[in-house]
Amino acid sequence: MTYGIILGGNQPYSDKIFKIQKRVIRIITNSRMRDSYRELFKKLEILPLYSQYIFSISVFVIKNKHLFLYK
C-alpha cells in the first residue's frame, strides 16, 4: 500500500482505499462493523492510509532537505 503513496496518497480515490483498509482490518481481527477502527489499527500497530501518507511525506522531506532549502 505504501508504494507510490507520496504521489497518489492525496487523490480522490484515496477515500475508497481507506474504506477498504478499514474493512480488511475488521476482517483480520474478526471485529464487527460498529467497532472502532482506530483501536484496531492501534492493536495491530498499523498506520491508517492518511497517517501513512503524512509519515511518508515527512520522511521524504527529511531525507531530501537539500531540495527544499531556500537560497
Asked if residue 42 lies in contact with residue 51, where contact means CB atoms within 8 angstroms, the answer is no
Closest CA to 51 of 12, 21, 23, 13: 21
| Model pLDDT, residue 1 | 65
pLDDT at 61 over 80: yes
Query: Structural domain tally of the chain?
Result: 1
Per the structure, the complete domain to which residue 31 belongs is given by: 5-67
Alpha helices in 9-48 (DSSP H): 14-29, 37-44
Sign of the C-alpha dihedral computed for residues 66, 67, 68 and 69 taken in this order: positive
Mean pLDDT of the chain: 86
pLDDT at 17 over 70: yes
pLDDT in tens, 19-44: 898 999 999 999 988 888 888 999 99
Q: What is the pTM of this model?
A: 0.76
